[in-house]
Each structure stands twice: as structure tokens, then as C-alpha cells.
Chains A and B, each alone.
Chain A
Amino acid sequence: MTDLASLNAQALAAIDAAASLDALEAVRIETLGKQGSVTALLKSLGQMSPEERQTQGPAINGLREAVTSAIAAKKDALESAALNARLATERLDMTLPAPDAHAGSVHPVSQVMDELAEIFADMGFAVAEGPEIEDDWHNFTALNIPETHPARAMHDTFYFPEDAGEEAKQMLLRTHTSPVQIRTMLNQKPPIRVIAPGRVYRSDSDATHTPMFHQIEGLVIDKGIHMGHLKWTLETFLKAFFERDDVVLRLRPSYFPFTEPSAEVDVGYTLVNGKRVIGGSEGWMEVLGSGMVHPRVIAACGLDPNEYQGFAFGTGVDRLAMLKYGMDDLRAFFDGDLRWLKHYGFAALDVPTLSGGVGA
């Protein structure tokens, strides 16, 4: 009995003393290996009488279990210590920078055009397009601006040499998106609801004018469309675009050769920290030109002005972007300065949606 007890104590002490997995393995071999001390005791059970085995068996097996579990426990402890030691050597400076990611951006003009397409889609407007190199018939004549009309002088038009076009048409850079009205009416039967965003050109350059800029045109042609519909459409659009319910419009009678009656539209603003913020009516800013499509324009497109009437409006996309997002220099829009593009641009996933809001 004392033999067993001392063997037990001796083995446990040796396990406890093992400083490495190798040392522990040596202890295991000494005790539980083929020639091991505990193994020898287990073997001795065979030679014992049944009575002796009755008492010695459980004791010897108990010894084996105690040693086995002590070794397993020690092994876990040693492995865990070894892992910890290894992990300790693997420490990284997590303040070091991760590889650079390059944030791309969408230009504010593109973003605003997407916003407008989204808003107007909800009102049933499709997006129409037309050429930027136009002929004078589409840009002027069909829009009720004959050659001698003083309104032609209001448009500082870029012309191409007279022989540049086909069939001796005078070709020019469109001065507004309104020729898309003409193209749409010529190609499509009413009811028509379209917006036409795009580049337009005027020979004008100063702090607030660039020779190229962006406009968006709206056109509705149907039976029974009147000025009240125009007003509602503009109110609805501007409220949706600025995502404010306090947007106030002021319509002023005006003149465009291609609309009759015509109205310029001012939107009310409030001064916040010296900046004009759309909403309220502390002051007024002109944002839109609009009117009922002139009967002569409808007739020029082969439609009967007694049957069909409608409205058109146009506004500057760059200007809408400036009013909503606060840029104050139009020239920067076309400079391609990465610092500006990153600051005023939009993330790829800032896709305007009605559920998420069109603004970003």
C-alpha cells in the first residue's frame, strides 16, 4: 500500500515538475510506457490471487487514472503556455496603417441629374436626349425664334462654319436644351412627359457663367394641360429636390419666344449664417424659366395646337447643385481638381432613391 502511495506521489511530483512537453513525455514513458512503473503494476495484477486482485485492482487502476489525468492536465497547461508564448512574439502594431483604399466619386452634376431623373420618374417623366451640335431650325426657328428675333441676341451662340453641316444647314452648339422639346414632339405622340438634361453652350465667361453648362428641360404635352399643372409640377419638383416642405415659389410673367404665357420662377430663400438656404421667403432667387408651349411651336412639330397643349420649363443643373450642396464657384465644376471632386462629389452608393431620399 505504501508502495502505491509513494509511487503515486512520486509520479505526480514528476509530472508537476515537467517543464516541457518533452519532459512530460519522459514522465509518461516512465510511468505509463511499456516498461513504465504503473504499467508494471498493472501487469502484476495477472499473477495475483483473486482476493488480492480484489483489493489491489481498484488501487492500481486508480493510480493509473490519476497519473493519466495529471499528465493530460499538465499537457494542456504546457501547450497553452507555449501558445501564449508564441502569440506574445507575434504582436503587431495595430496602429500601423492598412493599405490605402481609393475613394472614387460621382460628379455633383451627374448626381443631381440622377436625383432629377428619380423625382420626375415618380411623376411619369422619361429622360429624353438630343444632340449638342444642333441646327438652327431646332435650336431657334422651330422654337418660334426667327432669324431677326431680338431673342437670338440674348443667346450668345457658338456657330460652326456654314459649310460644316449637311444640306447647308447652319450648325451650332445648342444654347439650351429646348431643341429636345422639338425632337421629342416630332418623334413621339402625345401624351408626352419628358425631362431632357444635358450640356448647353453660350459664348459667355465670367464668375457665374461658363461657356459650357448644364440644363434640364421639362415638357408635358397632352389634352387639357394648363398653367395650374405647370405650377404644381414645379412646386412638387422643387420640394422633392430640396427635401423641404417650406419651399415657396414666386411666378413672374416673362417672355420666352417658345412659350405663351411665360413665367420666370423665383424660389424663396432664408439667410443662414450668411448663406442662402432654400426655403422660406426672406429673399427670392430666379431658378427656372417656364410657360405654356407656344401654339406655333406645337404646330411646327406637326401637332394640332387646338387639340394639344402643354407646358415646358428649363433650369440650370449646375445651379441647382450649387443651391442644394453649397458650391459657390461654377468654374470649379469643370476643372477636374481631385480635391474639389472628392469634397463635393458623391460616393458610388449614394444612389438617389425615393425611399432613401434623393439627396445625399
Chain B
Amino acid sequence: MKFSLSWLKEHLDTDADIQGVADALNRIGLEVEGIENPAEKLKGFTVAKVLTADRHPQADKLQVLTVDAGQGPLQVVCGAPNARAGLVGVFGVEGAVVPANGMVLKKAAIRGVESNGMMCSTRELELGDDHDGIIELPNDAPIGTAFADYAQLDDPIIDVAITPNRQDCMGVRGIARDLAAAGLGTLKALNVPSISGSFPCPTEIRIADPEGCPAFYGRVVRSVTNGESPDWMQARLKAAGQRPISALVDITNYVMLDHGRPSHAYDLAKLTGAVSARRAADGETATALNGKDYTLTANMTVIADEAGVHDIAGIMGGEHSGCAETTRDVLLEVAYFTPERIAKTGQSLALTSDARSRFERGVDPAFLEDGLAVLTGLILDICGGEASEIVRAGEPPLAQKTLSYDFGLCARLGGIDVPQDKQTAILTSLGFAVAGNQVTVPTWRRDVDGPADLVEEVIRIIGLDNVPSTALPRAEGVAKPTATPMQKVERRMRRTAAARGLNEAINWSFLPEAQAAVFGGGTWTLANPISEDMKVMRPSLLPGLLSAAGRNLDRGASSVRLFELGRRYLADGEKLTLGLVLAGERQARGWASGKAHCFDPYDIKAEVMALLAAAGAPVDNLQVMGDAGDHFHPGQSATLRLGPKTILASFGALHPNAAKAFDLDGAVMAAEIYLDAIPAKRGGGNGFMRPAYTPPALQAVTRDFAFLVPSDLPAGDLVRVIKGSDKDNITAARLFDQFMGAGVPEGQKSLAIEVTLQPAEKSYGEEDLKAIAERVVAAASKLGAVLRG
């Protein structure tokens, strides 16, 4: 909502300057988004007279002028066809900045002739669209006067953001009322002209949809002249950011901006028979003032005559019945439309307008009569003509709310103790009627419907700055931990990943459909995506990470280690997941290490195991199984499971097809860890206490075993059975060699395992070690493993 200071002062008697007004507006909740003084950008532009005009010696289309801008004659080169001796226009002096293009005017030679400034067009000064010639002012315009002063443009414009609850401030007068309540001045009395119609209204007005349009007041004004609106009105409309169109249109716009009261003027000659507010028929169409056709439904209210729909009620007038220069007789519409209906219609047609934004907030239902009078008065003043009597169809909802208000609530909820008489004064100045503890809400404050709203009214006028800060009561002692077990797991994993050299990224939650498809497709597809690239909620964290990896490689990164901790969006919920991608070089070429080494599947396995350990997962008991998913290399990927069904993680080399879908060359390793599958760490009965432990007194010993096994036997299986073959003695089993080739039969491989034995009471004797070795070999043999000689 934009308006000029002088416009505000039409309603508010105040000495405040623009800054004082702005501060007060911010204080009471009308947020100032900007202050602009059109005079500022017109600095250096003055009223000037062209003394002489001669042909430019070098150019046909240019003239050489001498211009008097109050400081004596100056030579100016000018290309405007209307430049001539005797013309009074606007001159930009050397150093002035042309508003339209930011050009700084300089003394310069134009085709060899010196020019000391510029005569300006309205477009160059951003005062209009005209660029056919330079501005022509009346001959008596005082030469040498600052143009902004002459044109009365030294009037700051203030831009206020009106929150959706404040319909009353969608007009300048409402803002003035709020400022008066805040003590910035006095609200001037509203001068409502008293106009009695001189003939009966010739048009019948009906309401067939009282639910959508409870009230429709109208009258005809005949024999009007629809020329241009007066300068003062045009200036105010421009200040509000509106383009003047014609007197009748400008007047309806002006009343809307001045009072928050939309209205409409129909060209009576274009109407057929009675005018009614009715429901549209399903599929009925209307051509609105913006030139677009809208297909309507039976849930929408329209203004129609006997020939068809004109208005999309309360939102936009019709193209065919609007006022034009030729309009002689007009039908005025001042109606009350039900806000919910306007909102729904506007939303479903995706049609916004100044009228909609007021009607859907709810205009003052008590301002129909006066609004019509103000509107008629302006038309008669500006366009002449003769007004009919008023036709009033229906009744606006005038019932006022009365609230029981406990004045103590201001302190209890608002946190500031304001005496009852002060509260009463504030409410009264805002238009509330206070009688004891009964507060009646003014008709223009549809938003106020409970005691909390009254507290807001009081404290916003008192000023929130005056509410004393009050410490929240604090629990005794040191603050208690608040994080949930899952939150702690998440934090540990994040920082473990970072400590291991991985960089945390945050990727979009939505994906292009094709990327989601590589990962089995997503369950959740947006109905109204912002673009095709952001359409499907990700079923995996990997697509985002792979795209990021690709971007980094394209930008020249040689090694990418990215992770993300976020949600996957599945049919059965949002699953917290850690995604991880390793791409490019694990180790760059080096003076000691030789050529570069790329990541391999065991690199990502190491990260996954470390992260699972950090999360508190029982990493020693996990089973390595298959079925990691189609986006992985079938032979170089695995899942880590706790039991056959609980998958904690999947990892491995990316399938070449998946890599291709993301334009990735070379080996790419990927993993996902499913945080919700990780079993919660059991607290145990004694809190922080660890199980008792004393390092054994006797030294551990190691023994190596080499087995021949079928080449497809997973090494992990052999290690597990060996480790479990003698739990009293074997504390660790570690595979340290795998060999196929010379000396190993075809179809077999050799696996070498170092077994750590921990004696308990006494050192091992030969017999003990032999017995343990036999148990190891016996366990291994169940898998077909044969001890190598």
C-alpha cells in the first residue's frame, strides 16, 4: 500500500514529518517497506525556456538551442522534434542524473557542438511514457524553479506492508485512524456529501445469491463526461503506483485506495435489462478487464445482466461493460461480497486484484452508503452529470461483535500492566466501544474476535518496546540434557564422518523424475513442482550426492568425498539416512606412492563400518549379505544386516548404468546407512558404569593358519567360524592374506588367518595350543576348508 505524505495529511492532522510517520507506522504494526521522495531523483532538473533554436551544422535531426534555466543562456544540443524557441520545458543541468537510465549529464561535444545539459522528455524523468518530444510546460512556468517544486512532486511516498488481518488499513483513511490512535495527530472528520437523487434509478438491481453478495447498492449517474481525472488525483494514483486511465476509472480506484472501498462503474449503454448478483453457471465464461477469458463454476458469484456475465464479483470487472471515453451514463456498484467466496474464487481462478485483496479480507460492511456518497460526489464534481436515487438490494452484515474483556489479561498475556482507563482510551481511539468490561468491535475490524486481539490492540499502541523482558523460570541446577538418542546418533555420525575426511552437503529433497527412477522411483511426486528438476521427493540420498559429485568433478575436483544426513521420503514415512559417495582419486599421485589410486569398494566399506560403529551399531555381529539394489554393481556391493531382515546399510561400487545416468566416469563408490534401523543402545541398569575389566596378566599369543577353500567361499564366513570355534581362548581372528594361482588348485583359494589367543590362568603348553588348533581346523572344515600343509 503506497501513498504520499500529503494524501495522509488529508485525513490526519499532524505536524509529523515523513520519518516520524514511518517510525510510528512501524511501531504500531504497519511495516514500512520503503520511503521514496520523487523530488530526490529530480535534483538538478529545473524549469527552463528555450531562447533560440537553430539547425545543427553537422546533423539534420539535431538542433542547437540556447536555454535559460535561470543562470543565463546555455548552449544545448537537442534531438526532440518539438524543440523550438519560446518553449518552456525541463532542463537537466550538468551533473544531474537522468532517472530513467542513471546517466550522469556531462558537458560534451555532440557532432562537434558543445552541449551543456539536456532538455528532457517525460519518459526520461520517469513521469510518463511519452518520448516523442521534450516536456512542454505552460508559458508562465517560473524559469529557474526546481522542477520537482513546480510539479509539486516534493511529496514523499511511503510504502507500507499491510498484514492480511488489517483490511481497515487497505485505505489511507484507515492508516490515518491507526496513527491518530498512536498519538501522531488527530483524525479529521470525513466529509460525506449529501446527494439526493433527482430521478429514480432506471436499472433494476437484484440479488440472486445472497450468500455470496449480501448487499448491492447502486445508482445511475447520467450525462457524465469521462475525460482525464484532475492532476491532484492523478498525482495520488501515481504515488500509489497506479496508472491514471480515465476520470471514472480513476475515481473508483481512488475511493478504493482512499477508503479501502472497491466499487465499480458500468457503462449503462452496454448493459441489458436488470443487473443481478448471481452464481455463475458451470462453464460460463467471462472476459475480464485484463483481456483474459475465465471459465467460471457454480461456486462463483458474478454480476450479470440479462445478456450475460460482466463482473467476476468483487475481483475484476468485465471488459465489455467498462467505462470508455464515450461513456455518458454509468451504473455504480457498491456491494458487500462474502470474503470466503471471494478468496475461493480468486484462488481457483488464480486471479489477483486490488479489489480481491480488499474484499477477501472483508471490507467495512457499514461503509456502503457513505462509500457510494463519496464516490458519487467525486463523479459529479469531476465528470458532471446527474445522480439517480439509490437502489439498495439486500443488507450488509452489520451485526457487531461484543467481547467480554478482562483488563487484567493485558498484563497476564501481554506482559505489561496498562491501567484500565488507558486501555479504554486506546480502544476507543481505534473505534471500539467500551462499556464496563464489554467491548464492541467496530465494523471495520473483522479480524478482532477475542480478548487476545484486544490485548494486541492495546500493546501495539503502547509499544512492544515498553513490554519489560521477563526471564523464563529456570529449572534448578545445571541444564539437563535434552537430545533424544536418535539425535545423539545423528550428531555422532555427522562429526565422525567429518573427522574421517568427508564433507557434509545438503542437497534438495526433490529430484528430477528420471533420477528418482534410477533408484526405483519415488512415492511422492509434487502436483505443482517449481521445475521438472525438482519434482519427486527423493527415495534415496544418493541421486543428490551423485549430482553434487558430478558438479565437483566437472569443476576440476580430483577427489570427492561427500556425505549427507537427511531424510528419504518413502510410502511408509520419512527415514533418516546417511548417504555417502566417494568418487575420483582416493590418493593423488605422489612422490612416494606413485600413480594415483582410485577409490575401491573396500574404501567405502571402511567408512560404513566406522560410521556404524560411531552410531553404536554392533559392527562385530553384522552379516554381510547381497541385494544392495539395482543401482549397485552386482558383484561389488553388499548389505550389512543384523539378522536376515534388518538392513543397516548398503554399499559398494555404483552400477555403470547408474553412473552413466549421472554422467559420472570412472569408479564411483556409494553407500547409504539407515539410521532408523540401527538398534538403540541399551542404557542398562547402572547408567554410565562399564562392565568390570582388568587387562589379562598373561601375554596373548598369535598363531597363523592357512586354508584352502572353494574359491566362492566368502572369506568372512571362514573368519567368523574360526573366531567362534573356541570362544574361551580365541579373542580375535584376522584375515591377512588371500591367494589364488601357483600352488593353489583350480577352483580354490588360499586364505591365511591370524588367530589371537588369550590365556587366562596359566600360559599355554604345547598340548593346549594343539587342542585349540584342532578346534580351529575342525570348525573350518565344516565350510570345506582344508589346512594347508
Contacts and interface: CB of A to CB of B under 8 A. Distances in A.
A149 interface: yes
Given A97-B591, A121-B479, A104 B360 contact: no
B530 A211 contact: yes
Interface in A205-242: 205, 211-212, 220, 224-233, 235-236
Given A123-B472, A255-B163, A227 B508 contact: no
A124 interface: yes
Interface centre among B28, B495, B567 (most CB of A within 10 A): B495
Contacts of A264: 31
A102 B414 contact: no
Interface stretch (A26-34, A50-58, A336-344): A336-344
A29 B686 CA distance: 73
Contacts of A255: 29, 163-166
A226 B529 CA distance: 40
A336 B505 contact: yes
Contact of A104 (B509, B561, B590): B561
Interface stretch (A14-22, A62-70, A76-84, A154-162): A154-162
Interface in B163-206: 163-166
Nearest to A347: B498
Contacts of B605: none
Interface stretch (B226-234, B250-258, B458-466, B720-728): B458-466
A25 interface: no
A138 interface: no
A250 B23 CA distance: 12
B415 A228 contact: yes
Interface string A131-160: 111000000000000011111111000111
A199 B568 CA distance: 13
Contact of A252 (B29, B344, B468): B29
The 10 closest A-B pairs by CB, nearest first: A253-B29, A336-B548, A228-B415, A102-B501, A255-B163, A261-B456, A228-B470, A253-B460, A348-B499, A336-B505
B357 interface: yes
Interface string B15-29: 000000000001111
Interface residues of B, number: 99
Given A105-B504, A132-B567, A333-B506, A252 B31 contact: yes
Given A104-B501, A336-B562, A341-B505, A127 B487 contact: yes
Contacts of B482: 117, 120-121, 124-127
Given A160-B526, A232-B469, A338 B452 contact: no
Interface stretch (A3-11, A107-115, A271-279): A107-115
A61 interface: no
A117 to B, nearest CB: 7
B498 A104 contact: yes
Interface string B560-598: 111001110100011000000000000110111100000
A148 B453 contact: no
A309 interface: yes
Given A148-B340, A339-B555, 10 more contacts: A100-B588, A106-B495, A124-B472, A164-B524, A203-B528, A229-B472, A333-B506, A336-B505, A336-B507, A348-B499
Interface in A230-270: 230-233, 235-236, 250-255, 257, 260-264
Interface centre among B412, B452, B544 (most CB of A within 10 A): B452
8 contacts: A117-B483, A124-B474, A124-B475, A148-B347, A226-B411, A251-B464, A338-B503, A342-B503
Nearest to B585: A100
B525 interface: yes
Contact of A124 (B357, B480, B529): B480
A104 B557 contact: no
Contacts of A109: 506
Contacts, number: 266
B682 to A, nearest CB: 22
Interface centre among A127, A161, A260, A294 (most CB of B within 10 A): A260
A103 interface: yes
A79 to B, nearest CB: 32
Nearest to B497: A104
A191 B279 CA distance: 50
B467 to A, nearest CB: 5
A94 interface: no
A237 B308 CA distance: 61
Contacts of B504: 104-107, 110, 341, 345
A229 B470 contact: yes
Nearest to B528: A159
Contact of A261 (B31, B344, B414, B548): B414
A318 B1 CA distance: 30
A99 B472 contact: no
Interface string B517-540: 000000011111110001001000
Q: Interface on chain A toward B: helix, strand, loop, or mixed SS?
A: mixed
A292 interface: yes
A182 interface: no
B494 A149 contact: no
A338 B552 contact: yes
B108 interface: no
B545 interface: yes
Interface in B395-431: 411-416
A335 B574 contact: no
Contacts of B455: 260-261
Interface of B: 26-29, 31, 163-166, 339-340, 343-344, 347, 357, 360-361, 411-416, 450, 452-453, 455-456, 459-460, 464-465, 467-472, 474-475, 479-484, 487, 491, 494-510, 524-530, 534, 537, 544-545, 547-549, 551-552, 555, 557, 559-562, 565-567, 569, 573-574, 587-588, 590-593
A351 interface: yes
Contacts of A168: none
A351 B504 CA distance: 15
A338 B562 contact: yes
Given A99-B593, A227-B459, A252-B31, A148 B567 contact: no
A1 interface: no
B529 to A, nearest CB: 7
A233 B474 CA distance: 12
Nearest to B574: A131
A262 B447 CA distance: 13
A88 interface: no
A150 B344 CA distance: 10
A86 B597 CA distance: 34
A93 to B, nearest CB: 9
Given A220-B472, A348-B499, A153 B593 contact: no
A313 interface: no
A96 interface: yes
A121 B481 contact: yes
B561 A102 contact: yes
Interface centre among B415, B468, B499, B549 (most CB of A within 10 A): B415
A295 to B, nearest CB: 6
B166 A251 contact: no
B415 A110 contact: no
Contacts of B497: 104, 348
B360 A148 contact: yes
A295 B449 CA distance: 11
A122 interface: yes
B503 A105 contact: yes
Interface string A319-360: 000000000000001111111011001111101000000000
Contact of B29 (A233, A254, A348): A254
Nearest to B415: A228
B415 A226 contact: yes
Contacts of A345: 498, 503-504
A338 B507 CA distance: 13
A173 interface: yes
Contacts of A105: 498, 503-504
A101 interface: yes
A263 B412 contact: no
Nearest to A114: B491
A338 B569 contact: no
